[in-house]
A and B are shown apart, each in its own frame.
Chain A
Amino acid sequence: MITAIITAKGQPIPTVIQQVLGEMSEEHTKILAEAHKVELDNAIDATRERVLKPTGNHLKDAIEVEKLNVADLKGYGVGNVAELNAKTPWWIWINFGRALSGRTVPIGTDERPGLQGHFEPNTKGILTRSQPKFPIFPKKAISAHNYIEKALGIMVGKIRELLK
């Protein structure tokens, strides 16, 4: 790639180069962050075990590309941990197989008596808390989906292609 740098009269070349490089780096981190977000979404969908719930917060929506501008740190990040902890704290459970509370098996009616409902048979449906209402006693731990690592693994191979 050939880049022409046109400077205002009187501006020293190193200053201009520094500015141009800064803008390019910021643009590159934006490209990578947006591509990374796509891969995270793909990894979440690819390992989804049940249908998307119709209401409430979704992990995919909570993972956002965010512009960083703190002191000398400029660029873009993906997935603000504080935001994820607040909106979709199960992000950690799905990835590592362990909730922030330390729990591995979802809560059941024995621990929360009001928790009753049904699953649509044969459709991988989510728990629906309407009639018919049955008690539920989950026994299987949520296994690690590793969507963070899956996305990273793909991004490592894509970086060179993305920054051509």
Chain B
Amino acid sequence: MSILTWAISANIENSIIEFLRDKVHNQALQLLDCNGVAQNVNVYAGRELNNNWNLPLIQIYLDSKPDVQRLAIGSNKRFKSWQVIIDIRTLLSGQESNVADWIEDEINDGITIYDYTPNSINPEIPAKVIIGHGRVDFVSSLPVPEFDNADKFDQNRYRITIKIWMNS
């Protein structure tokens, strides 16, 4: 019996999250709130918005796999892409665009993709080995339309859509 844990999609999703968390941490990236107090930028995983999340935040999740072309005729090797949504939600207007610019600069050269293995002793720190480099293509980058009575999570929102490319 073999237990299937994380496959490539989960590995790619988590590699991006870990990459951005490291960048935020290493640069001690913060944004000011309406009182002029600096707030940490948080990076969260998941399609569903969680009301317990703290703003400002970067929400990341794998959305789809739009490309699965063959690398060559007669080969079962595929040139695949993984499409990832990055939703940015900030406390003050204008900050969402600044964070978007920062993210685009940081991920422009691609990211290291790891293969993660669950760690039962310390689940927060799974074991990992490098499996390749993911190239980044930008599919879209624009503010999300304003909503009439939006709550704090949707007042200042920006969405970046990227494709990660890897040979597999």
**8 A Cβ contacts from B139-156 to A:** 139-140, 144-145, 147-151, 154
**A residues apposed to B, CB below 8 Å:** 92, 96-104, 141, 143-144, 146, 148-150, 152-154, 156-157
* Chain B contacts for A103, CB-based, 8 A: 149
**Closest CB of chain A to B66's CB: distance in Å?**
4
Say yes or no: is B49 at the interface (Cβ < 8 Å to chain A): yes
Chain A residue contacts of B39, Cβ below 8 A: none
Q: A149-B63, A153-B81 are in contact. List 16 more A-B contacts (CB 8 A).
A: A96-B145, A97-B49, A98-B150, A100-B145, A100-B148, A102-B148, A102-B154, A143-B48, A144-B85, A149-B83, A149-B85, A149-B161, A153-B139, A153-B161, A156-B66, A157-B66
A103 to B4, CA, bound (A): 38
Select which of B66, B150, B151 is within 8 A of A154 by beta carbon: B66
B109 is an interface residue with CB less than 8 A from chain A:
no
Q: How far apart are the CA atoms of A98 and B48 in the complex, in Å?
A: 11
- A144 CA / B62 CA spacing, docked (Å): 12
The answer to whether A153 and B83 touch across the interface, beta carbons within 8 angstroms, is yes
Known: A149-B83, A149-B140, A150-B66. A156 touches B148 (CB 8 A): no
Q: Given contacts A149-B85, A149-B161, are A98 and B139 in contact (CB under 8 A)? A: no
Give the number of residues in B that approach A within 8 Å (Cβ atoms): 26
Cα A99 to Cα B150 with chains together (Å): 9
B106 adjacent to chain A (CB < 8 Å):
no
Q: Does B64 contact A (CB under 8 A)?
A: yes
Chain B residue numbers with a CB within 8 Å of A92 are: 145, 147
Residues of A within 8 Å of B101, CB to CB, are none
**In the assembled complex, which residues on chain A have CB atoms less than 8 Å from the CB atom of B144?**
96
Judged by DSSP, the binding face of A is loop
B23 CB to closest chain A CB (Å) equals 23
Contact status A156-B137, CB under 8 Å:
yes
Task: Given A99-B147, A100-B147, A102-B147, decide whether A153 and B47 contact each other with a Cβ distance below 8 A.
Answer: no
A156 touches B163 (CB 8 A): yes
Interface centre among B69, B85, B150, B157 (most CB of A within 10 A): B150
Of A101, A141, A149, A153, which one neighbours B147 at CB under 8 angstroms? A101
Query: Quick one: closest A residue to B151, CB to CB?
Result: A102
Measured in the bound complex, the distance between the Cα atoms of B144 and A124 in whole Å is 30
Q: Known contacts being A149-B161, A150-B64, A157-B81, is A102 close to B47, with CB within 8 Å?
A: no
Q: How far is the CB of A77 from chain B (nearest CB, A)?
A: 16
Closest approach, in angstroms, between the C-beta of B73 and any C-beta of chain A?
A: 16
Could you say which residues of chain A place their CB within 8 Å of the CB of B63? 146, 149-150
A150 to chain B: which residues have CB within 8 Å? 63-64, 66, 83
Give me 13 A-to-B residue pairs in the complex whose CB atoms sit less than 8 angstroms apart, sorted by A's number.
A96-B144, A98-B147, A99-B147, A100-B147, A101-B147, A104-B49, A144-B47, A146-B85, A150-B64, A153-B64, A153-B83, A153-B163, A156-B137
